[in-house]
Amino acid sequence: MRTGFIGLGNQGTPMAARMLQAGYPVTVWARRPEVATDFARQGAVAAASIADLGAACDHVGICVFADQDVIDVCDQLIPAMQAGGVIAVHSTIHPDVCEELARRCTEQGILFVDAPVSGGALVAEQGALTVMCGGAADAFARARPVFETFGKLIVHLGEVGAGQRAKIINNALMSANMGAARAAMAAGRTLGLDKAALAEVINNSSGRSLGFQIYAGMSTYLDFAVGTPPMVKDVALLHNMLGDENSETLRRTADFFLKPAAEALKG
């Protein structure tokens, strides 16, 4: 299978590298040509355009930032790919966008899977990401061998959009955990507890979570500079999708961390 990858950022780079290391022929495209050139030195092919990449590949992974970024890529990619090819969207975007892209793919005879991932760059390097998939059973089956190059837990959650819904809920919960962590540490400070000692206790007790571990290990909000923008985006996505008490509770708790973190990024 000839594979391609678009979006060689913090998350996409190790995913594409794992595909290459697994022996797949990989063609890449990036907004910054020097990034694609670096991959070419590792054995990949650097495409001159998204259309050229699409024409050369049977399976294309996309890992760009936002809804419109994915749409812009697919506007060029879908017409260029052959029937029977697979497009896998690893970006975290609105499920409705995935459903519309899947409809367009079906018209061209292309299979579509939304497959956002969780774990981060280091976990991707280890080939141990969680991959949350939505799409038809045949599309998932075709894409799974590629996902196995960078994923450890690969779950088919249902039709197109199901992977996105699971990822957005996960990210909102992670954000809320970090907001709750900030509140807990602030409570400890008010009660006169040593910060390091309290963090050690919680990290070894029933209150522990990944969000708490990350928050307690931060010296400034800038330590989470890479993670803040996508978490802000995904919390807003869930609230826009639901607008109910559940999403509002998650957003309100998450904002206790995300608001000061986002302000810190503004300098």
Residue 163: name the closest of 125, 134, 140 by CA.
Answer: 134
189 and 133 in one domain?
A: no
Catalytic residue among 152, 167, 259, 266: 167
Per DSSP, helices labelled H in the chain are 12-21, 33-41, 50-56, 67-77, 95-107, 120-125, 137-147, 162-190, 195-203, 210-217, 228-242, 245-265
Give the CATH number, domain containing residue 256: 1.10.1040.10
170 and 155 in one domain?
A: no
| Spatial contact of 150 and 124, defined as CB atoms under 8 Å apart | yes
Query: Is 233 an annotated catalytic residue?
Result: no
The whole-angstrom separation of Cα 193 and Cα 62 is 46
- Structural domain including 20 reads 3-159
- Count the domains in the chain: 2
- pLDDT (tens place) for every residue of the chain, 267 residues total: 999 999 999 999 999 999 999 999 999 999 998 999 999 999 999 999 999 999 999 999 999 999 999 999 999 999 999 999 999 999 999 999 999 999 999 999 999 999 999 999 999 999 999 999 999 999 999 999 999 999 999 999 999 999 999 999 999 999 999 999 999 999 999 999 999 999 999 999 999 999 999 999 999 999 999 999 999 999 999 999 999 999 999 999 999 999 999 999 997
Residue that terminates a domain, selected from 108, 140, 159: 159
